[in-house]
Structure 1
């Protein structure tokens, strides 16, 4: 269940990032402009790299690390997903869980890329006050004729806007995985969660 939800989320995230801003140049200082600009940058990279198009994990990892992860605050995401268990984890456990959760996302990209075809993305009018520091950018993916809601939650940092949560089909990533992580921790402890994530990443690395 955990891996299936993550695959769906990553597919939506990838489609939103690579299909949503063709032909547009946006201001990175605004949250909607940042999302649109990153999408165009990633799309240009994919179009010019046949290794990425074929699902080469090394090249995909390079792309994600260079073009996408700088605009996602995975530490914040993992902290929110862990909830009250974050304070119970040691600094080393926090670091390792964050790294494994991020790796799970990256390794899922290889499968998601193969599914990107002719999806269309539209953005809803962005509404926020200039003083807002936590906002939502709303979009819709048309996939095989069916609309899929895809929203990004961002917050303002000294370095600019960063994505830390995403909504697909009415389910926010943090809410979904907070329960999943809590169930695993309740059954197996924090080390059990780390073992699960590590083993799942190993399965993906081996083509599982």
Structure 2
């Protein structure tokens, strides 16, 4: 599965799974409960709203707060992150976040037509002091093969945050790292920032 297909699969499922209400986060919900609590609310919203601006707002307010973008960007960029200056790091994190916003918004438009979606979430019981867990899920949709998606999450001061998504044993972060490192090797960190900007402008128009 290439990076784009991997991301779209993960993004479509995450649209249903990871847009929990802020009250659930404030209440310190367990990671599996946080995932389970999202399904009905998000499906209801995307069924009623197909306007791109509304879906973009849903993405930014309900989905993305559950991601640790700094850690995801660090992992995806790899060793070049430590070599980048502060301005470059901020540009990389911003570009990666915008990439997710634009991609999720477009995926939500397609998800609005989804029918008969069932999501199984395996229970997770973190031990005392455990600050990282993996929430295992299986997405079942009419006419499609079941899709195994794992969410690697870390406990933070703001609740549980996703720092990687694993689709059928393929890590989203690892896949992005391969393409990011290739771009950095070819044109440096500034070249990657430029590529992210170009991708975001293209996605914003689609």
Please confirm whether the aligned pair reaches a TM-score higher than 0.5, indicating the same fold.
yes
Contact 2:32–2:123 under 8 Å retained in 1: no
Distance 2:7 2:88 in 1: 21
Distance 1:10 1:182 in 2: 22
Q: 1:181 aligns to what?
A: 180
Per the TM alignment, residue 78 of structure 1 is displaced from its structure 2 partner at its CA by 0.6
Q: Of 118, 121, 125, which residue of structure 2 is paired with 1:120?
A: 118
Gaps in structure 1 of 5+ consecutive residues: none
Distance 2:66 2:75 in 1: 17
Distance 2:38 2:69 in 1: 17
Q: 1:172 aligns to what?
A: 171
- What is the correspondence of 1:95-110 to structure 2 with a 5 Å cutoff? 95-110=90-105
Contact 2:3–2:172 under 8 Å retained in 1: no
Per the TM alignment, residue 198 of structure 1 is displaced from its structure 2 partner at its CA by 0.6
Q: 2:136 aligns to what?
A: 138
Contact 1:123–1:139 under 8 Å retained in 2: yes
Per the TM alignment, residue 137 of structure 1 is displaced from its structure 2 partner at its CA by 0.6
Per the TM alignment, residue 110 of structure 1 is displaced from its structure 2 partner at its CA by 3.2
1:69 partner SS: helix
Per the TM alignment, residue 159 of structure 1 is displaced from its structure 2 partner at its CA by 1.9
Over aligned residues, Cα RMSD in angstroms?
Answer: 2.3
* Deviation string, structure 1 residues 43-101 (Cα, Å, up to 9, x no partner): 34334x42xxx2x3321221122112222111111111111111111111111111111
Per the TM alignment, residue 157 of structure 1 is displaced from its structure 2 partner at its CA by 1.0
179-188 vs 26-35, which moves further: 26-35
Q: 1:12 aligns to what?
A: 13
Q: How many residues align structurally?
A: 197
Distance 1:87 1:39 in 2: 37
Distance 2:93 2:116 in 1: 33
- What is the correspondence of 1:41-120 to structure 2 with a 5 Å cutoff? 41-47=41-47, 49-50=48-49, 54=50, 56-113=51-108, 114-115=110-111, 116-120=114-118
* Deviation string, structure 1 residues 109-133 (Cα, Å, up to 9, x no partner): 2332214332211112324323211
151-160 vs 1-10, which moves further: 1-10
Gaps in structure 2 of 5+ consecutive residues: none
